[in-house]
Amino acid sequence: MSDRVVRAIGLTGGIATGKTAISNYLGDVCGFPILDADIYAREAVQPGSPILDSIVERYGASILLPDGNLNRPELGNIIFCNAAERQWLEQQIHPYVRRRFVEATQNCIAAQNPVSPNTLTVVLVVPLLFEANMTDLCTEIWVVYCSPEVQLERLMQRDGLNCDRATARISAQMPLAQKCQQADVVLDNSSTLDSLFLQVDKQLRNENLIT
- Each domain of the chain, given as residue ranges in start order, spans 5-205
pLDDT at 209 over 90: no
Write down the pLDDT at residue 112: 83
- Strands of the sheet containing 5-13, edge to edge, are 34-36, 119-125, 5-13, 140-145, 185-188
Q: CB neighbours of 186 closer than 8 A, spacing ≥ 6?
A: 142, 143, 145, 180
- Helix, strand or coil for residue 9? strand
- Residue 32 CA, chain-centre distance (Å), reads 16
> CB-hemisphere CA count at 13 Å for 106?
6
Is the Cβ–Cβ distance between 16 and 161 less than 8 Å? no
Give tens-digit pLDDT for 111-162: 887 767 778 999 999 999 999 999 999 999 999 999 999 999 999 999 999 9
What is the CATH number that goes with domain 5-205? Answer: 3.40.50.300
Residues 22-55 pLDDT 10s: 999 999 999 999 999 999 999 999 999 999 999 9
The predicted pLDDT at position 1 comes to 41
Q: What 3 state SS string does 47-58 have?
A: CCCHHHHHHHHH
